Each structure stands twice: as C-alpha cells, then as structure tokens.
Structure 1
C-alpha cells in the first residue's frame, strides 16, 4: 500500500470528464436508457418500501441523538425481544442527498428475521461539513451502543451504502471512540456496500461542489489511509461488497480497502464480493425483499457467533 506521503501525488490522472463518469454511479447501470431513469427508479422504489415498513412494523421514530435538525434515528422492531440483534443502516447520497425517511426499506425483511433496524439520519452538505457528518455518525453510534447495552442486545451490526459505507468505515477506524464508548463490546460486524474509501480524486469532481472538501483534507478523511489493527482483538467481521455494474473506480476502491483490512487486521474475518449482475443501486434496492443477501449474511453471522 502506498504511504500517505506518496498518496499526496495522484497515481492516476484522468481528465475531468473521465473523473466525472467514474464517480457517477448511475452512468454505469445497464437497466435503464438514461442515468436519470436509474436515479428516479431508485428513489421511487426505496420510498415505497420505506413507507411500507413504516406502516407495518412497530417502531419509534425521530429519536434525537444530537442537537442539530437531522441528528435523528428510527428504531424498527420495538416489539422484538430486548436482546434482539441490531442492524444500523447509514444511507448514501454523496453526503448531500437522500434522507432517513426513505432509507427504512431494509427494516421489513430484518424484522421478519427477528432483527431490529436502526435507520440513521444526519445533516447534509453544504449545511454541514464532512468532518461534522463523521462526528454525527459517531454520536449516533454512541446512542446505539448505549441502547444495545441497556437492552442486552446479542450484537450490533452496521451497514452503509456508498457514502454511508465511507461513514461506517470512518467510525470503525476510531480506536479511541470504540475503546471509550460504553456498549461498544456489542459490535459484531459491518457491511460496507459500494463504498467510497479514497477521496483524493473525488474532490476534483462536481461532487465536491456541495461537499466543499479542501484538497488537504482528502487523505485524513479517507478510510483507505486509516488504521484498523484494533479490530483484530475485537474480532469484528467486515463484509466489503460492490456491484459488477458499479463503475471501475468503485470496484477498485472496494478491492483496495479489502486488501488494507486483510493486511492490517491479520484475520480471516474480512470478506470481499463483487456481486454479479447488480449495479450501485439495485445492490441495496434488493434489501427490501425477504430473500436478500444482507439479511441472509446477517442471519448467518448471528447464528454462527451466538
């Protein structure tokens, strides 16, 4: 792995149009004629599935975990046993789009598998900076760990999609936070789905118009340059997933992040899969279905490590 000093110089230089396309996941889907149709379908599908979950699953909504407007989370499956496992879902949207209300779609299948779902909301760029959002996810995790400890949960798992995977990875990299947060011993695993782990090129794209991330912050805020050796003692299982029809750069970043984890954690508890015939969006859209890979992986992991 290249050093942080070496990382300051870009190893791959693309022109701006190439970079824009590589970091525009909707342009790589083969399911629709235009990228706009991909995005419209995604929002329609997850909105409908989230509304169905809200209408049919016992829940508690808009629980404040921080002082700002969007630092709220929802808990689904409030009628399940106190010791039920918990899956914490962090949505994507390049830290500037989507929200908690339309990110409840994994809750139905998980509820039927006897797993509680916590859906995390957070402030978006440009009203919040990326470091502030990273801190907000830490605030949410503190709340969840304390809740899990109070309830006697058998395990806490995190899942993040796209920018959400970045936020979960940053959370897991903070050894001091995990060591000093009551209830963090309940952490069992994480699912990082079509994530972005190296921000150096991203700051050169239009994504950064709203994120407004200074170039010098790209490496400190990139999970690819963080340390994860502390996860070895905790025996946390990490599942790194991307779609066959993700862009080449997204697949490359998932592979490189997996290699980082494998080489630094020195454990067999790291998994990588580039999932066939799915893109950046239907890789999570399927979470609304009862037979979906995340629920199946989670249930298998829970049963294996009870």
Structure 2
C-alpha cells in the first residue's frame, strides 16, 4: 500500500469526521459514568509500583469470587483512559461478572514496550491480588478495542507469562475488538509521531508475528463499517489463531461497535457473556 492508502485504511478518526467522533467520545464518558454510578467496586488501585498506574474494579459481589473481564482501552496508545472505559461494567455485574479497567501510561511518554509491560502487569495483579477484591484469578478474560485490541493480543500470546510468575493459561479467553495484530503498517501513518516505532520493533510487538503458545478461546470482533485496515487485520489473525470466531457486526463503525459490550441484548454483549461463562 502507498502511504496515502494506509492512511485511508487506518485513520478511523478521519473516516468518522469530527462531529461523529465527538459524539462517540461523549458516549464513552456518559455511558461509563452511568454504568458505574452506585455500582459496588473499588476504583483507583495501584496495580504497578514501577509506573504507579491504577485500575478500577467494578461489579464485585458479596459472595463467591466472580469471573473478571479485563478491558484495555483504545486510543492508538496515546489517548483515552479508564475513566471513559467502563461502559460494560453494569451489564456484566448483572450477569455475575466483574470488570477491571486499567490505565496505562500513554505514548509518547511511554514506549509501546512499556505499555505492553504495564497491561501484562495488570493481568498479573488480577491473578495475584484479585481474590482480595472478589475476583476469581482462575477466570480472567481480556478484551480491548483498537489499540486495546492489540494489547489484548499481547496478553494472548506466549512467552511473557514466566517473567511475571504466571501460568501460561492465565488468560482463559479473549475478545479483541477492532484489534491490530501486525502493527508494522503503523510505522507509516501519523500515529508513529507518538509511538515512534521502526519496523524491527513493530514486528517484535505484533501478536501475529509472535509465538502463539497456548491458544485460548477468543472472539474477534470487528465492525462492518470499520477502517479497512482493521477489517483486514481481524480477518487475517483469526484463522492464524485457530481457536476463535470472527464476528463482523453490521451497522457499526470503529468507535461504536465496542459500546455494544454494555448491551446484554446485542450480539457482541451476548458473545462476551457467553465467552466469560465458558471459562
């Protein structure tokens, strides 16, 4: 692809246009605030002493430890936060599932290698400390949108768990939404002004190019009206993973498809609940 074609394929903010993009971002905040209003949980826990980054725990119950959905927000590794990323927490709570939403240090303040380390540290925190907060460390499902889909992929692959003292199967299932699995194209679009990757580092940070290890069950979600690059990435990685389903959601774009995680009646919401209950 030419640089211009890559921009068309991956610049989903430009595709949406400023007005629609602003509406989507407003929905992230309002639906997240509504979802956690009065919900049992504990926000603002430091999960990584090295960076000081924090996570929120939502939707825990008073009885048995609950399975947990760890949601990694998008924003091309350089935007958004946990404060606007908990829109699924109430729906999951009503289904007996807890939600954990971590922050990670944004680019360019942090390298992508450091961002990956932090989200893996968040998974390690859930496994080691989650039981203290009503979470079941043996039923961890990870998901995320866009850049968060890439980070989800980086928790699915093998080769990192031993460094954190974790079992290889710590992530029992995964749901990347509009994910990026081969990030080498990012080196040629505007995002690289922030993440500052070369081809060698991009390859080393691409789930599609890394050892698979154990293949956990997965649902790969992408929107019908997504950026062409994101559609292609999911369509290529899902068969490579060989342990998951591809869901192309009609009448959704890159930014609103993930909001369906908060709707138990939507195909995406049902798929998430079924995936968590399967582990």
TM-score computed with the length of structure 1 as normaliser: 0.83
Shift in Å at residue 280 of structure 1?
0.5
SS of residue matched to 2:56: strand
| Structure 2: runs of 5 or more not aligned | none
Partner of 1:86 in structure 2?
68
Q: CA 1:243–1:80 in 2, change beyond 3 Å: closer, same or farther?
A: farther
Give the Cα separation in 2 of the matches to 1:125 and 1:113: 35
Runs of 4+ in structure 1 deviating by more than 6 angstroms, as ranges, are none
Q: Quick one: which of 215, 223, 247 aligns to 2:207?
A: 223
Q: Quick one: which of 264, 269, 272 aligns to 1:295?
A: 269
Q: CA 1:105–1:210 in 2, change beyond 3 Å: closer, same or farther?
A: same
Give the Cα separation in 2 of the matches to 1:184 and 1:127: 30
| Structure 1: runs of 5 or more not aligned | 1-12, 30-34, 263-268
- Determine if contact 1:145/1:183 at 8 Å carries over to the other structure: no
- Of 178-187 and 191-200, more deviation after overlay is shown by 178-187
- Determine if contact 1:70/1:122 at 8 Å carries over to the other structure: no
Q: Quick one: which of 211, 230, 233 aligns to 1:253?
A: 233
Partner of 1:175 in structure 2?
159
Partner of 2:219 in structure 1?
239
Shift in Å at residue 188 of structure 1?
2.1
- Of 240-249 and 117-126, more deviation after overlay is shown by 240-249
Shift in Å at residue 302 of structure 1?
4.2
Partner of 1:100 in structure 2?
82
1:119 correspondence with 2:104: no
Partner of 1:145 in structure 2?
127
Give the Cα separation in 1 of the matches to 2:135 and 2:229: 41
Partner of 1:271 in structure 2?
245
Q: CA 1:102–1:303 in 2, change beyond 3 Å: closer, same or farther?
A: closer
- Of 179-188 and 51-60, more deviation after overlay is shown by 179-188
- CA-atom RMSD in angstroms: 2.1
1:165 correspondence with 2:149: yes
Q: CA 1:83–1:304 in 2, change beyond 3 Å: closer, same or farther?
A: same
Shift in Å at residue 176 of structure 1?
4.3
Q: CA 1:297–1:178 in 2, change beyond 3 Å: closer, same or farther?
A: farther
Shift in Å at residue 288 of structure 1?
3.0
Aligned residues: 277
Shift in Å at residue 283 of structure 1?
0.5
Q: CA 1:296–1:178 in 2, change beyond 3 Å: closer, same or farther?
A: farther
- Determine if contact 1:73/1:100 at 8 Å carries over to the other structure: yes
